[in-house]
């Protein structure tokens, strides 16, 4: 067989792709690319959501640990008008939020029969921010030097943002109460329960119960 006949037969049996076949291949490749692209970014969004939820849970855990230590350090004496413990609840944007303020010794040191250290007034309250979300704030000041109604000398920081609720209850000798006033009770609560719910975690609640340790 001549060489020319062999080449003709080869190319006749191995023809190139038609335009239709090329278009079908491009369409299949596009579908696969879109599926891979969407799946990749879905994984990224899921990872980001999980990371945000974990950070929110860690923030809630740190906050509850901090307020638990402060509750354990609460100091109130009826004879000392600079000491107090007050708590109340209200409705804000359809959520139950608590405001609680108290005096506590942040650094304890024994001094005879009386506790020593730095007496600090602390207040936790919830406010609506500019975006309409609820933010939990912590304020602190020296009760001997500053009146809580003064604008200067009070340190105010945002503790938790985008919360759903902040609820505080107080244990008396007769059970749990939703409010407390040391001017009426003449004492501090035996224990405090603080519960916070975060929107970033599907409104799951996180709670602590802390005893007031200083007598």
More confident residue, 30 or 82: 82
Listed in order, strand segments (DSSP E) in 61-113 are: 85-92, 95-111
The structure tokens listed for 131 are 């975006």
Supply the pLDDT for residue 178.
94
The pTM of the whole model exceeds 0.75: no
Q: What is the mean pLDDT of residues 148-165?
A: 85
Q: What is the mean pLDDT of residues 106-134?
A: 72
10 Å Cβ neighbour count for 178? 13
In this prediction, what percent of the chain has a pLDDT beyond 90? 45
**Considering the chain, what is the average pLDDT of its residues?**
82
Supply the pLDDT for residue 1.
53
Q: Any bridge partners for residue 98, and if so which?
A: 89
- Kindly report, residue by residue over 97-116, the tens digit of the pLDDT: 999 999 999 764 444 444 44
């Amino acid at each position: 067989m001549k060489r020319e006949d062999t080449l003709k037969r080869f190319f006749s049996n191995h023809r190139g792709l038609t335009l239709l076949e090329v278009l079908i291949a491009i369409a299949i490749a596009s579908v696969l690319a879109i599926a891979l692209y969407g799946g990749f970014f879905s994984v990224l969004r899921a990872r980001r959501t999980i990371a945000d939820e974990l950070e929110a849970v860690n923030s809630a855990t740190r906050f509850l640990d901090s307020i638990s230590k402060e509750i354990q350090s609460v100091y109130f004496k009826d004879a000392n008008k600079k000491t107090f413990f007050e708590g109340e609840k209200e409705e804000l944007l359809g959520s139950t939020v608590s405001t609680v303020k108290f005096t506590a010794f942040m650094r304890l040191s024994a001094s005879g029969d009386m506790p020593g250290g730095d007496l600090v007034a602390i207040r936790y309250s919830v406010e609506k921010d500019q975006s309409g979300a609820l933010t939990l704030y912590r304020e602190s000041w020296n009760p001997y030097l500053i009146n809580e109604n003064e604008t200067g000398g009070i340190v105010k920081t945002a503790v938790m943002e985008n919360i759903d609720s902040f609820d505080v209850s107080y244990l008396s000798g007769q059970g749990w109460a939703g409010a407390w006033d040391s001017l009426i009770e003449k004492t501090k609560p035996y224990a405090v329960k603080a519960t916070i719910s975060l929107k970033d975690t599907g409104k799951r609640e996180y709670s602590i119960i802390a005893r007031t340790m200083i007598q």
